[in-house]
């Protein structure tokens, strides 16, 4: 298995949570991380900015490029990718992590929130992929990893929050289509999703302290992502991966290390 030393990762939403955890795991190898996120100044309710993330990435052993990016804005994404290539000489990995969530039914979903979820989740993923591919084609082992679920067309995953499900499944449909579209270029497109709730700011706001205690740490997603991103891209593409399955397949036995509270009953995530 290779490592990520000297590789350049462009990670959306990397100022906190799972995106930052993936960045820090790659940084341990000496990777270059472009932090593409919106939070420049401290948020009253959310920890982390692109600058605090950059400091953590450098402390972990990597190089960091903090970039102010709203993935809904094509000009910002285009400029950020250009700056990444100018700074580090190319892009080896794209991680589409940025996401918006609202778990409401049809009648309770404001169209502005509907648009936000689709613009960030589906459109943002498509846009970042579209603009990164020309550079990924030049990389030795190029990967795109979308933080999105397996395409499970059961009614139970749609009816409680159809707008959110559509937006997340749109990210997964990018994997399904682009894996085949760019197979001859050797670019891997895969999805990664957690078995359980992950202790992020979003989970805390949705479920409070009780949900956080029933969650796993973001590091389980980071370690699973690392295993995917270090696989040969031509031999591993078009897959919908679950975090603990990736780890156990690699011989990781102790999953309790990832639990926020090992004594708590783990809360399952959506779509599994």
| Domain boundaries of the chain, sorted by first residue | 8-258
Q: Which residue from 188, 23, 9 is spatially nearest to 85, judged by alpha carbons?
A: 9
pLDDT band for 270, please (50, 70, 90 cuts).
Answer: confident
Q: Region 218-242: what's the mean pLDDT? A: 98
- With 60 as the cut, is the pLDDT of residue 217 above it? yes
Question: 153-170 b/e with 16+ CB inside 10 Å = b?
Answer: eeeebeeebebbbbbbbb
The pTM (predicted TM-score) of the whole model is: 0.96
What pLDDT does residue 237 have? 98
Q: What is 8-258's CATH number, 1.10.490.10, 3.90.1170.50, 3.40.50.720, 3.40.30.10? A: 3.40.50.720
Catalytically active residues are: 164
What percentage of residues in the chain have a pLDDT greater than 70? 100
* Tens of pLDDT, residues 50-87: 999 999 999 999 999 999 999 999 999 999 999 999 99
* Tens of pLDDT, residues 89-116: 999 999 999 999 999 999 999 999 999 9
Angle at 17 between CA 6 and CA 263, to 5 degrees: 120
Is residue 117 within a helix (H) or strand (E), and if so which, with residue range? helix 111-117
Residue 200 phi, psi dihedral angles, 5° rounding: -120, 175
């Amino acid at each position: 298995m290779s490592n990520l030393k000297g590789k350049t990762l462009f990670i959306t939403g990397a100022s906190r949570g799972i995106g930052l955890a993936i960045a820090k795991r790659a940084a341990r190898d000496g990777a270059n991380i472009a932090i593409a996120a919106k939070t420049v100044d401290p948020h009253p309710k959310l920890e982390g900015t692109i600058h605090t993330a950059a400091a953590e990435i450098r402390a972990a052993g990597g190089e960091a490029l903090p970039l102010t990016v709203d993935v809904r804005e094509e000009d910002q994404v285009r400029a950020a990718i250009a700056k990444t290539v100018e700074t580090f000489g190319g892009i080896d990995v794209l991680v589409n992590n940025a996401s918006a969530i609202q778990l409401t039914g049809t009648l309770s979903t404001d169209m502005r929130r509907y648009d936000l979820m689709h613009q960030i989740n589906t459109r943002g993923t498509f846009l970042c992929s579209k603009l990164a591919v020309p550079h990924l084609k030049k990389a030795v082992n190029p990967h795109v990893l979308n933080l999105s679920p397996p395409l499970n067309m059961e009614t139970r995953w749609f009816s409680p929050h159809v707008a959110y499900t559509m937006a997340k499944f749109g990210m997964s449909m990018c994997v399904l289509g682009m894996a085949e579209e760019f197979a001859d270029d050797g670019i891997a497109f895969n999805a990664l999703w957690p078995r359980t709730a992950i202790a992020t700011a979003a989970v805390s706001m949705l479920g409070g302290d009780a949900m956080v205690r029933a969650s796993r740490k973001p590091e389980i997603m980071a370690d699973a992502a690392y295993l995917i991103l270090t696989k040969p891209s031509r031999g591993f593409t078009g897959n919908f991966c679950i975090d603990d399955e990736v780890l156990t397949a690699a011989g990781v036995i102790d999953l309790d290390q990832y639990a926020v509270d090992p004594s708590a009953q783990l809360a399952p995530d959506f779509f599994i």
